[in-house]
Structure 1
Amino acid sequence: MKVKPLSIPDVLLIEPQVFGDDRGFFYESFNQNKFEAALGHKINFVQDNHSKSVKGVLRGLHYQLPPKAQSKLVRVIQGEVFDVAVDVRHSSPTFGKWVGEILTGQNKKQLWIPEGFAHGFLTLSDTAEFLYKTTDFYSPEYEQSIIWNDETIAIKWPFDEHILLSSKDMLAKSIEMARLF
């Protein structure tokens, strides 16, 4: 597996080694030892989540505050999404900055999003199935959301017409109004 820090170095792009031939493919989607070696510390995942979305669905930008903060390892098994991480750590030199990557069932890339980052994705294909591991359980009382089109963050989404949001995401706050790390 190749691990590449992005422009915000705490967010990592992970490209697994895929073995393929005319019969199909095989790859390790997760290996605890290799992943911890790449991170340089132990990690404990406690929950796996799986969502399916149609084109134009935007989920996010979500995060959980301490003591229930979550790190996430995300990937797409079918379809294509534009996946985004936003640094919401006040003390960070990259506070308010974002990184984005195209994740697809074909490219099998994964994104490591540590605690202190808001996360969201926009479905680009007709449908997409999205899987992610978390380091803490979902805890609605600690969950926070930042509005997807926050002008201060200025994410360059691949498109911004016909965006489909949940009622919860429609109520998300600006980064200035949100509770942050």
Structure 2
Amino acid sequence: MVEVRALGLEGVYVIRPPKFEDDRGFFSETWNADKLAQAGIAVDFVQDNHSLSRPRGVMRGLHFQTPPFAQDKLVRVLSGAVFDVAVDIRQGSPTFGRWVGVTLSEMAWNQILVPKGFAHGFVTLEPDTEVAYKVSAPYSQPHDRTLRFDDPALSIDWPVPADKMILSAKDASAPFLADVETGFVHS
């Protein structure tokens, strides 16, 4: 049975699918729409993404896409480990600007579901970390946005010091949440 646990922000869940192991290896359904729908999670995914981060400390995020290309994301680690974060960016939400984080790893076999209206990012905790994630809308460059991973208003407690993180130019120059029109309103 798939394990689904709420993380404290509306719509953000840790999901752990069953893993059947024997002397040959293992088998797991990492996504089953019917079983997740029974748990109250119904998302139509349209694209799979895969990233490799060679060194420890690679920061990817905080990313989101504005409507109508907003994305739900289901993120899992294929090898290595990350500290994964979701930030509520829905104007008017009682949890606006709050974040939750979870360590995802190949050993824990866990995933995080990050719904539309949340910025998402992770920092690698091990070298050669591979992350795979499903999204519910295709990538759209005009709708792509980034927030500062170290925005003091968010106070995210990253397990890797900021001066030890490796960022893309886009992420290093990202604006603060107060300076971004997210396009999301809590209903």
- 1:21 CA displacement: 2.6
Using the alignment, how far apart are the partners of 1:176 and 1:34 within structure 2?
Answer: 38
Match status 1:167 vs 2:169? yes
- What is the TM-score with the length of structure 1 in the denominator? 0.96
Using the alignment, how far apart are the partners of 1:13 and 1:127 within structure 2?
Answer: 23
Q: Check conservation: 1:68, 1:137, Cα contact below 8 A.
A: yes
Using the alignment, how far apart are the partners of 1:141 and 1:89 within structure 2?
Answer: 19
- 1:36 CA displacement: 2.1
Question: Aligned to 2:141, what secondary structure does the other structure show?
Answer: coil
Q: Check conservation: 2:19, 2:27, Cα contact below 8 A.
A: yes
Using the alignment, how far apart are the partners of 2:143 and 2:77 within structure 1?
Answer: 26
Using the alignment, how far apart are the partners of 2:96 and 2:43 within structure 1?
Answer: 24
2:171 alignment partner AA: D
How far does the alpha carbon of each residue in 1:18-59 deviate from its partner, in whole angstroms, 9 at most, with x for none? 11233322211111111222235x421111000000211000
How far does the alpha carbon of each residue in 1:146-179 deviate from its partner, in whole angstroms, 9 at most, with x for none? 0110000000000213100001111110010012
Corresponding residue number in structure 2 for 1:114? 115
Q: Check conservation: 2:43, 2:72, Cα contact below 8 A.
A: no
- 1:10 CA displacement: 1.4
Q: Check conservation: 1:76, 1:131, Cα contact below 8 A.
A: yes
Corresponding residue number in structure 1 for 2:47? 47
Using the alignment, how far apart are the partners of 1:179 and 1:49 within structure 2?
Answer: 26
Corresponding residue number in structure 2 for 1:57? 58
Question: Aligned to 2:35, what secondary structure does the other structure show?
Answer: helix
Corresponding residue number in structure 2 for 1:178? 180
- What is the TM-score with the length of structure 2 in the denominator? 0.93
Corresponding residue number in structure 2 for 1:104? 105
Question: Aligned to 1:176, what secondary structure does the other structure show?
Answer: helix
Matches within 5 A, 1:11-160: 11-40=12-41, 42-54=42-54, 55-160=56-161
- What are structure 1's unaligned runs of at least 5 residues? none
Q: Check conservation: 1:7, 1:99, Cα contact below 8 A.
A: yes
Q: Check conservation: 1:16, 1:108, Cα contact below 8 A.
A: yes
Using the alignment, how far apart are the partners of 1:74 and 1:66 within structure 2?
Answer: 20
Using the alignment, how far apart are the partners of 1:9 and 1:179 within structure 2?
Answer: 20
Where does structure 1 differ by over 6 angstroms across 4 or more consecutive aligned residues?
Answer: none
Q: Check conservation: 2:60, 2:123, Cα contact below 8 A.
A: yes
Question: Aligned to 2:34, what secondary structure does the other structure show?
Answer: helix
Q: Check conservation: 1:144, 1:179, Cα contact below 8 A.
A: no
- 1:72 CA displacement: 0.4
- 1:89 CA displacement: 0.3
Identity of matched residues, % = 46
